[in-house]
Every structure is written in C-alpha cells, then in structure tokens.
Structure 1
Amino acid sequence: MRCFSVIGPSQTGKTTMVAKLASLEGAPRGSTSPYGLTVTEFEFLGESWCALDAPGANEAVTVAQDVLLASDATILCVSPNPDEAVLVAPYLKAVEASGTPCIVFVNKMDETHGRLAELVSALQDYSNHPLILRQIPIREGETIVGSCDLISERAWRYRENQPSALVQIPQALIDQEHEARAELLEHLSEYDDWLLEELIEDRQPPSDALFALSSRVLRENRVIPVLIGAASHGNGMTRLMKALRHEAPKAGALRGRLAASAGVEEGKLTAVSFHAYHRQSVGKTVFVRALTDGLKQGAALGGASLGAVQDVANGKPLASGEAATGCVFATVKSDHLPAPALLSVDQVFAAPDWATPPTPMMERILVPVNERDDTKLSGILAKIAETDHGLQLSRDEDTGAKLVCVQGPVHLRDLGKTLTEVFHVDVTDKMPNAAYRETITKPAQVHYRHKKQTGGAGQFADVHLTIQPNERNQGFTFTEVVKGGAVPRNYIPSVEAGAKDAMETGPLGFPVVDVGVTLTDGQYHAVDSSDFAFRAAGKMGTKQGLSEAAPVLMQPIFRVEIHLPSVFSGGLIPIVSSIKGQVLGFDRHESAKGWDIFRALVPGGGLEDLAHALRSATQGIGYYIKTFDHFEEMYGKEADAVVAAQTGKAG
C-alpha cells in the first residue's frame, strides 16, 4: 500500500480533492476519527492507496504534523489567492522540517483571484525548497478552461467531472508556455549535469528523461512541484494522481527517512504510530503504518503483543490477517503503544523533534460538575493526553487544581466533548489566576507571646523577631542570634517552622517570597513551653511582622518567544505594549523561512490577552513559548483590584 497525506489550511477543498482522487477508479472506503483525521483507501492503476486527510484548522496543525510520519509524500492543498499564502506558512514549515516530499496543489482555480506566478512567489517566501510550476492555466477571458503541462508540452481542456480532453496549445499561450518551460528546465538543471549540458548546447531534452528527472528530485526532496486544478469539478485530478504514482517515493523510503530524522538504526524500525483516540466501549484505538512485513495480532511490537489488527477505513479485521509493508491499519487492545512514536519489536522510540506540536497557549482549570468525578478526572485526562498530542497537563501552582493547556477554544471544546461522550464526565472550565506573590519593603521588629491556660499544662512561648526584606530570588531565610539560652536550642527549629508556615499566605492573601526572619530573643516556661507553642509563636509573630513591614504585591513576569510569519512582526509591538510588556527584540527564525521569533517580557496576568491578540493579529498562525523569568512589584489600581479580588475569595 502507498500512502500520502493531504494537508493545508481550511476552506481549500482538501476533502473534496481526496474524494475525487479516490473515486477515479471506483468506490473508496473511508472513516473519520474524533480528531478530524479522515482515512480513505482506494485503488488506482492496480495499486492500493491510502490518503490521510488532516483537518485544516489552525488548532489542528498537530494532526497535520503527525500524519507526515506515515506519509510517502504529502499534497499541500492551497487557495489560488496570493493574499492567503501566509495561511500556508505553518504547513510549509512542517513539511520542510519533516523532509517529506511534497506536491503543492493549487485548488479552486475556477475561482482564481490573481496570477498563478504571484501565488507561487508568495508561497516561496515560506519555503527553502524551490517551488516549480509544472502546469500553467489555459484561459478564455477570465475563465480557466484547461492547463498546459510544461514537461510534455501537451494541453488539456477541462470537462465537468470527466477526464480532460487533449487539445492543441492555444496560439496565444505558446510564448508564455515556452518561457515557463524554460524556467522549469533551468531549475531542474541545478540537480542534473546532463540536463545542464543539454540546455547549454541548446538541445531540447526528451520528455521521458524530464519526467524521470522530476521523479528523482521529488523523491530526493529537492524541489516542490506545483500542479493546478479544481477538485469540485474533477479538474486536474488524474494528472495529480499520476504525479503521485510515478514520482512519489515508494513505501520503503519512509523507513529510512524516519530513522535518519529520529537518530534510530533503520533496521530496528518495524512500524510507526501516528494517530490515536478513545472510543466508548472500545477503548484506545491506534493508527499504525507497517514498515516491514508480518505484523498481525499477537505479534511483538513496542515491547508487548499487538492487539486486534483492523482495516483503518471500516474497522473490520484485515482481510489478509496480516499487515504487509506500507499497510496502514488500526489496532485496539494495544494500550502500550503511544502515538506518535517509532516502533521496533521490543522498543518504543520518541517521534522526531519536528513532530513536536506548537506550544498550547490557552490554560484552563477543569472542574467536574459532579464531585464524585473529581478523583478520577486526573486519570482520564492522562489517558486523553496519550492520544491528544497537542494537549499538555499540569496542576495549578497555588490551588493544586487540574490545569489543561490546549491549542485554543476549539481544542478546549473538543476536549470537553471527549470527556462527556467517551468518559461520561461533565466539566466546567475557568481561567487560572496568575501566580501572584507578595513581599515586604521595610524591616519590622516584633515581640509576640503565645500564652494559653485551659487547665492542666498550658502553652507558653515568647519570641522577639526581626522581619526584613531579602534580595530578589533569595527566597525565605531564617537565622537566630539568641544568647544565654533565652530560647532553648531544641525549640528554635519550631520557631523556624512557624515562620515558614506564615509565608504560605501573607497579609495581602498571597504566598510570601524573599523575606528573612531572625530570632533575636525570647522566653520559655519549664512546664508550659513546647514545640507546638513555639511554632505557633513563630507563625503568629511573623504574620504580625509581615503586616507591619509594608507588604507589596508581586506579579510574575514571563519571558515569551513568539513564533510567527515575518509579515506580522510589526504588529506585535503595540500588542505587547498594551499589556504592559517589554519588547526585547526579534530575530529571523534559523530554520523556518519567512518566520520570526519575537521576544518580550510579559506580566503573567497579560498572557491570556496576549494569546487572544496574537491569534487575531496573525490569523491564528502565531504562537508563543513562555518561561518564568522573575517577580516584579506591582502598584496602583491594578494591584488594588488583584488584592481585593483575592480578599473577596478568602472571605
């Protein structure tokens, strides 16, 4: 079986294109996973094919990356509008990082909004590989009625949902065809000395030799050919399918490409898992592509026995009972298999770094509607994270609540749907609070006496404390300078423990940082003093001192790296300024052509606004990676509002 993926932005007609390709010679078989991946199997010219159609939403780029792991080649489906070329940038970035041979298909040419050359030029801004036109359109007025192949120099007139008709190249198109063909040959000659010599000698190379050269440079991932058509009318479908058949690598090439990109010995690789999801009453389903023969139920894969092996398109057992090299299949009762991953008989290897999804920017706390679901929610989320590659799990630092990091609002909605429909757990979500802290700005001297008498042995502890600010990031420190045994040595650790207890919640309602406590003097009672009494005195005395030491709110500051196409970089300065951030500058992305990495310091309370503004300003393409940098003092009305909100919750 040969396998290709179809990726690209939404509204470019990918699904229609796959349906037309799969129907060229008969009835296709297909299914769609809960994450939007459609798998279609069909026959073409005596060969079995599998098409992996990834969803085009910006939040689903992860799925597009993952299907490249199982693809001999990929079709990047794009709009003919040059103004929409930037929407293709994430997909070209993924294709180049993965090393997957790629064909760009310009769909909806019947709705063209500009010159094809302008589109190719706009796309080239995001590709280190040369994009080479293999066809040019034939126009009658403003209507595109056919195409001319630049290698064979044959023209085809489109017919509605029928094979195109061979026609003469229109006289008005001949000069344009010669110019476009010359440009094509010039590009190809960079990869073949024979062709270069032919062009120098002004000889016309034969078409068969050019087709063979085109096939080689695609298999070697040297260039990205560009084909055109209109899938909704069936235009250009046969030509596209023949290009895949004759020029895309065979199934065996994928094994070597994956091994090289992951640093794994090729001979060890048996299969690659690339997609997974949970189904009600079925459990975990994993999509796998076989890289060797002999995979069947009970066979060793990934260090354990493989579960049931099913046809990925219809869920029925494989007709042959065994997956041959190149076969795409589904397996259940194989919960030991992660996805995506590279698999040997006895090992699981991590997917290559290029398959790492964009860092999720939206953080939410999930709260079960039914309290009895609280204890099992963590385990369920961990299960979902095994199959949802773009999901990250953590805990809220202050509350310990379950924190999910998702790609965006659509991803969050789909997560909630999975929890409800598959695991029968309903949840609500809320935004986490920024991790505010507080500290003090001046020293304070405290004398605190803890004394209780309730019959029998009482409680007595007397401490003199100095509370002082520490240097930033020094944290909590405790020292003692007690003389003459005023506080017995065995009680001093209890005073320190009490002072630490006081740091958990300061007078403003937040954890306290960068404070030093010094025990200078005290008193004890031979009968009523105890560890408990001195711990209570240490805690309450420190709390009193914090209140008297001019407490101030501290907001977290994060260093963010914003990844985005260069055309959007200029718009980030006002966005960062609007959330009181500090612009640090930007650099060209080292490996992704046409992308920048924009750096800034941003208050934690502004991250949600940054995510919203970034999605809006970059048409959903940009994303950021955050790392905590430091805490910074916060004053004024904003600080008052934060403290008031915290005090209200405490009350």
Structure 2
Amino acid sequence: MRVFTVLGPSHSGKTTLVEALAGLDGGKPRKLDFFGGATATVFDFMDEPWAAFDIPGGMENIAEAGPVLAASDAAVLCVPPETDAAVLSAPYLRVLEEAGLPVLIFVNRIDTAADRISDIVSALQTYCAHGIVLRQVPMRQGDQIVGAVDLISERAWEYHEGTRSSLVELPEGMRDREQEARAELLEQLADFDDALLEQLIEDQRPMTGEVYDVATKVLQHHDLVPALLGAASHGNGILRLMKTLRHEVPGVDEVKARLPGGDAVLAVGCMADQVKHLGKTVLVRALDDGLAAGAPLCGTSVGNLTEIDARTQIQSLNPGEIGLTVKTDHLTLGSLYASDGAADMPGWAQPHVPVHRWMVSPVHEKDETRLSTALARLTEIDPGLGIDQDENSGHAILSTQGPLHLRRVIDKLADWVGIEVVTEEVPATLYETISKPVEKHHRHRKQSGGAGQFADVLIAVAPRERGAGFAFSEEVKGGAVPRNYIPAVEAGAQDALKEGPNGYPVVDVAVVLKDGKHHAVDSSDFAFRTAGKNAVREALAEARPLLLQPIMRVEIHVPSVFAGGLVPVISGLKGQVLGFETHPDHAGWDVFRTLLPKSAEPELFRTLGGATRGTAWFTAELDHYEELREAAPAH
C-alpha cells in the first residue's frame, strides 16, 4: 500500500480531490473521520491499494499535518487558481519543505482561473526553495480552459465533464507555447541529470521514457516540485495526477529512511480519536514487519488491529499498510513507535506552540474530576492541545491553536463524555513590587489557656532590581531570635509575598530579619512564621507598592509580504518593534520581533489572523517585567 496526504488552504477543493481520486476505478472507497476533521480514505487504483489522508485547511489545523506527513510516501498540495491566493499556501509549502518528502502541486479549479497558470506557479515559487516545474500547460478556447498538454509526452488531452479526458491533436496555435514550456521543463530537469544535460547541449531530442525517468528521480529526491492542473469537481486532470503518483512516488522504505530512529521504528501514529464505547483508536502505518495484534509496541502489547471500519479484525500489518489499533491505550499520537518504546517526531512534524488560551470549567461542579481526566486523554490524540492550571482558581487552562480548535475540544467533551463546560478569558498575569525600603516591628502574642504563642521580629523590606527575585537574610545579634526559628521567619515572609496589597504576587523584594525577641516557653516555629508573615505584610503596604506587568519577547513568523503591515498592529497593542528580517531557512518568510505586554497576546492572536490572511503565527517567552502605569484589571 502506498499513502499520500492532500493538504492546502481552506476552500481549495481538497476533499473533492480525494473523492475524485478514490473513485477513479469505480470501486467503493472506505473512509474514516477522525477528531479534528482529518480523514483517511482507502481505495484501489489499477489493482493496487492506496490510502489518502485529507487534512482540513487553515492554520489551526496544520498541527495535524506533522504525524500524517511523517507516515506518507508523498504529499499533494492542492492550491486555488489565483496568484493572490499563493500566499495562503505558504505555511504548507514551508512544512513540506522541512519534511523533505516528494511533493506535487495540483492547481485545482482551473476552469475558473482568471490568471495565467505560469503566473500562479511563479507566485507559489516565492515560498518554495525548490524549483516548481510545470508538467502541463492548459489548452484554451478563448478565455476557457478546455484541456491540458503533458510536457513530457507532448500529448494533448481534452477535458470532458465527469468523464476521462480524450486524446486530441495539439492545436496548431499553441505549438510554440508548448515547445517553450517543454524546453524550460527539460532545462530544469537537466540540472539533476548529466545524461539529459548532454543531450540538450548537443541538440538531441531525448526519449520520452528517459525524461519520465529523470522526472521520477527528481520527485523522489525532492529536487523539484512538479505542478499539474485540473478541476476535481469536474473530474478533469485527476487521472494524470493519480498516474503520476503511481509511477513516480516511492514506497514505504523511503519513509523509514527519512525518519529518525532507523530500523527500530516499526510504525507511525497518523491520526487518533477517542470514541464512545470503543475507547482510544490510533491509525498507524506499519514501516516494518512485526506489527501484529498481541505483539509488543512501545513496551506493551498491541490490543486489537482492525481495518479503518473499526470492525473488521486483522492479525497483522505488512510494511506500508495502515490499520486501527483498538484497546491499545498506551499509544499516543505524534510518536514513532518501536517495540520497546516511542521516539518523538522530527522537529518539522511538531505542532506550533499553542498560544490561544482560555480557562474552562464544568457547568456542573460534580464533573470537575471527570473533566480533568477527559482533557488529559484528549492530549493523547491531539498534539496541538496544551493543558495547564490557573494558580488562583484551580480551573484548567486550554491552550489551543485557535478558536475553532477550542470549539472542537468543547464539542468533543460534550459528545464523548457528556461534559458541558464554560469558558472565560485567562486573568491577566500581574505582579507587585515595592518602591521604597521600610522597617517594621511586629509582635505576635496569643494566650488562650495552656501553651501560648509569642514571637517578636523587626524586619526590613527593600526593593531589588527587576528580575532579581526574592532574597532573605538576617542580622540578629546575641541570639535574640534563636537560629532554629529563623527559617520560620523566612517562610512567613514568603507566605506574605504570595499576595500583596493589590492582590497579586510580590516579586523582587529583599527581606532582612534585623532583631527580635523570643519566649522560652511560648515561642515556636508557628509563632515566628506568623510574626514574619504579618510584619512583611504591614511593611509592603507602606513601601509604595507598584503593579508590574510581564513583557514578552514575541517572534512572529510571517510571509514577507505582510511583515511591514505588522508595525502599526504592534504599535496599536502598545508593543515595541525590535525589527524584522528574512528567515534564514524559509523562502518568502520573515521573522518579526517585538516586545509586547502579555495581556496583549489574545488581541495579537485575533489581529494577526486578519492582518496576514491567517498565515502567520507567533511564539512568546518572558523577557522582563515593567511598571504598569494604568489601572489594573480587577483581581
């Protein structure tokens, strides 16, 4: 079995393309949908088994592409027929370039194309370091595309609605255009084949079979990216695409050679789901012998193996075949599976760090524990999902790839385990510090029958440099505070710093225990901890507290055409532009750097989508804290 992935921008016709390819031989394809919207379709073409993976469009879904591409022999990038839409394909070209697997571009819906195909390819080339070569040129009648000419075989094919194209004579009026395009193709192929180059230099006409051989070699080595044409909804150009996949795409041995782990890797997890009454299902592709029901995988035996219908039991998978693991809960999506353990996917297959953060809590309090368990299980099937916890409320914080991703998670919780949740924005992350030194004396005395409590401390608090953190020291002389009680005073000081006068954690403060008194009977660790806590609290209130906001160092990965337009966006979010530069490894991309208040991250996420047509993403890490000079949000 050979496997390919179809991906590309939203509304480019990917699903229609997969359906058209799967229906070429008139059989009944088998299809399975997975959490996130990805699908696997198994079908036969010319008596050979095939599987096509379909990844939904949009940046929020690109996290699903990594595991699927890692298991694929090739990828088909389905693109719209407009030059202005080429930038929408930039994120997909970027991940495909990193993956290094054979890629074909399919310019879909060419019946609606208003731009020249060569201009569309040229626009795509902006975002691809490898050369993109046209393998076909369109035949036109007036403004309408009625067929295509294969530049290797030089055969002309006329399109027909819903049926296979017919072979026709090459129109005389386009012979010069065809010869020009073919010469350009041959020159690009000759850069990777000395024999072909020699023939061209000597003005010899290469044999068609030889050119196909060179085209196959450069595709398999990912030296060039061939572009083909068609209209999937009309069945045009589909057979040519499928034949190219059949003749030119390598088999599973190349997949294994491309991935880390070597001979130890038995399989790749491609897609996964949590299914009511069935449990976790993981679609795997076998890369070697040994994947069977009951056999060891990731250190524990495989439960059941089925076809993608989740019902038909199979005993084992041959190299290259795909199947569902059922009752094999130890498998998680996004890993390379060996018999005794799992390895991480290569870096290019890892999802973007999720930065769309919302706090979730169950509608019914009784579901709190169930929600925590369910979210943990969802992370096992969704590598793009992150979970942490709000320190103040204890509620879960979901980090997703975007609002649609968040909605999918919420819907899944309702459908799968029957948990309804509500969402709210994550509270602003603010801190406090102080702006002047203060000394404070505090005596803790309590007598309520029996042993009492007594501790007397004199402490000094002082501001430290930003980022210096908390420091504690003591200057007690003459044993006024026994040394065994000094750690309790420090612990009390740290207790006080958990919540300052404005209700936020206090940072960058030095606390010095200068003096104190104790009682031989009534003093204790607890008494000195309480005294230290109260003394520091009282001192903080008098030390002119300041609110601090975290400032993040943000890197935005953005197509170069949009980079300049981000300057007013960042200024509007009260950020500081540090500059932008060409990405060293990815054609057509810039890295835009800025300092931005953490509270502005949600708005950056929302604004970035509109400013870059949904193509950019960002990462953020703490840079420093600075004084907040405006009213703080309610705590």
Q: What is the TM-score of this pair, normalised by structure 2?
A: 0.97
The residue aligned with 1:13 is 13
Q: Contact 1:72–1:254 at 8 Å: present in 2 too?
A: yes
CA change 1:532–1:226 in 2 (3 A) is: same
- Say yes or no: does 1:300 pair with 2:296: yes
Structure 1: how far apart are the matches of 2:316 and 2:484? 72
CA-CA distance at 1:198 after TM superposition: 0.9
Aligned AA (1:124): Q
- Say yes or no: does 1:317 pair with 2:318: no
Q: Contact 1:16–1:232 at 8 Å: present in 2 too?
A: yes
CA-CA distance at 1:211 after TM superposition: 1.1
Aligned AA (1:210): V
- Say yes or no: does 1:493 pair with 2:487: yes
**Which SS does the other structure have where 2:157 is aligned?**
strand
**Which SS does the other structure have where 2:564 is aligned?**
helix
Question: CA RMSD of the aligned region, Å?
Answer: 1.6
Structure 1: how far apart are the matches of 2:548 and 2:247? 63
- Say yes or no: does 1:275 pair with 2:276: no
Matches within 5 A, 1:530-541: 530-541=524-535
Aligned AA (1:7): L
Matches within 5 A, 1:113-192: 113-192=114-193
Q: Contact 1:308–1:317 at 8 Å: present in 2 too?
A: no
CA-CA distance at 1:250 after TM superposition: 2.2
The residue aligned with 2:442 is 448
Structure 1: how far apart are the matches of 2:8 and 2:526? 66
- The range that moved more, 573-582 or 398-407, is 398-407
Q: Contact 2:34–2:271 at 8 Å: present in 1 too?
A: no
CA change 1:489–1:45 in 2 (3 A) is: closer
% identical equivalent positions: 49
**Which SS does the other structure have where 2:358 is aligned?**
strand
Q: Contact 2:266–2:290 at 8 Å: present in 1 too?
A: no
Aligned AA (1:248): V
CA change 1:398–1:40 in 2 (3 A) is: same
Matches within 5 A, 1:236-385: 236-258=237-259, 262=260, 264-265=261-262, 267-312=263-308, 314-318=309-313, 321-385=315-379
- Say yes or no: does 1:585 pair with 2:579: yes
Structure 1: how far apart are the matches of 2:324 and 2:23? 23
Matches within 5 A, 1:384-463: 384-463=378-457
Aligned AA (1:623): W
**Which SS does the other structure have where 1:387 is aligned?**
coil
Structure 2: how far apart are the matches of 1:399 and 1:241? 55
Number of residues paired by the alignment? 634
Matches within 5 A, 1:61-100: 61-100=62-101
Structure 2: how far apart are the matches of 1:331 and 1:490? 59
Structure 2: how far apart are the matches of 1:200 and 1:279? 61
Aligned match for 1:515, one of 488, 493, 509: 509
Q: Contact 1:272–1:343 at 8 Å: present in 2 too?
A: yes
**Which SS does the other structure have where 1:422 is aligned?**
helix
- Say yes or no: does 1:2 pair with 2:15: no
CA-CA distance at 1:190 after TM superposition: 0.3
Aligned match for 2:478, one of 484, 508, 520: 484
CA-CA distance at 1:128 after TM superposition: 0.9
CA change 1:459–1:323 in 2 (3 A) is: closer
The residue aligned with 1:614 is 608
Structure 2: how far apart are the matches of 1:488 and 1:288? 65
Structure 1: how far apart are the matches of 2:266 and 2:422? 42
CA-CA distance at 1:37 after TM superposition: 1.4
**Which SS does the other structure have where 2:354 is aligned?**
coil
Structure 2: how far apart are the matches of 1:576 and 1:204? 57
Aligned match for 2:598, one of 594, 604, 611: 604
Aligned AA (1:350): D
Aligned AA (1:276): A
Aligned AA (2:100): G
Q: Can you give the 5+ residue segments of structure 1 that lack an aligned partner in the other structure?
A: 647-651
Q: Contact 2:458–2:516 at 8 Å: present in 1 too?
A: yes
Q: Can you give the 5+ residue segments of structure 2 that lack an aligned partner in the other structure?
A: none
Matches within 5 A, 1:34-45: 34-45=35-46
Structure 2: how far apart are the matches of 1:31 and 1:524? 74
CA-CA distance at 1:483 after TM superposition: 2.7
CA-CA distance at 1:493 after TM superposition: 2.7
User: Deviations along 1:269-298, whole A, 9 cap, x unmatched?
Assistant: 222111111000110000011122453311
The residue aligned with 1:24 is 24
Q: Contact 1:82–1:113 at 8 Å: present in 2 too?
A: no
User: Deviations along 1:334-382, whole A, 9 cap, x unmatched?
Assistant: 1122222222222322111110111212011111112122123222211
- The range that moved more, 83-92 or 18-27, is 18-27
Structure 1: how far apart are the matches of 2:405 and 2:523? 58
- The range that moved more, 427-436 or 96-105, is 427-436
The residue aligned with 1:193 is 194
**Which SS does the other structure have where 1:425 is aligned?**
coil
Aligned AA (1:405): S
CA-CA distance at 1:79 after TM superposition: 0.3
Q: Contact 2:35–2:272 at 8 Å: present in 1 too?
A: no
**Which SS does the other structure have where 1:42 is aligned?**
strand
Aligned AA (1:387): I
The residue aligned with 1:221 is 222
Structure 2: how far apart are the matches of 1:597 and 1:250? 36
Structure 2: how far apart are the matches of 1:111 and 1:304? 53
**Which SS does the other structure have where 2:423 is aligned?**
strand
User: Deviations along 1:539-580, whole A, 9 cap, x unmatched?
Assistant: 112111111111000111111111111111111111211121
CA change 1:491–1:21 in 2 (3 A) is: closer
Structure 1: how far apart are the matches of 2:530 and 2:339? 60
CA-CA distance at 1:397 after TM superposition: 4.2
Aligned AA (1:177): E
The residue aligned with 1:649 is none
Q: Contact 2:67–2:268 at 8 Å: present in 1 too?
A: no
The residue aligned with 2:468 is 474
CA-CA distance at 1:392 after TM superposition: 1.2
Aligned AA (1:538): G
Q: Contact 1:398–1:435 at 8 Å: present in 2 too?
A: no
CA-CA distance at 1:526 after TM superposition: 4.1
Aligned AA (1:178): Q
Structure 1: how far apart are the matches of 2:321 and 2:229? 29
Q: What is the TM-score of this pair, normalised by structure 1?
A: 0.94
Q: Contact 1:434–1:556 at 8 Å: present in 2 too?
A: no
CA-CA distance at 1:34 after TM superposition: 2.6
Structure 2: how far apart are the matches of 1:585 and 1:234? 48
Structure 2: how far apart are the matches of 1:623 and 1:604? 16
Q: Contact 2:74–2:101 at 8 Å: present in 1 too?
A: yes
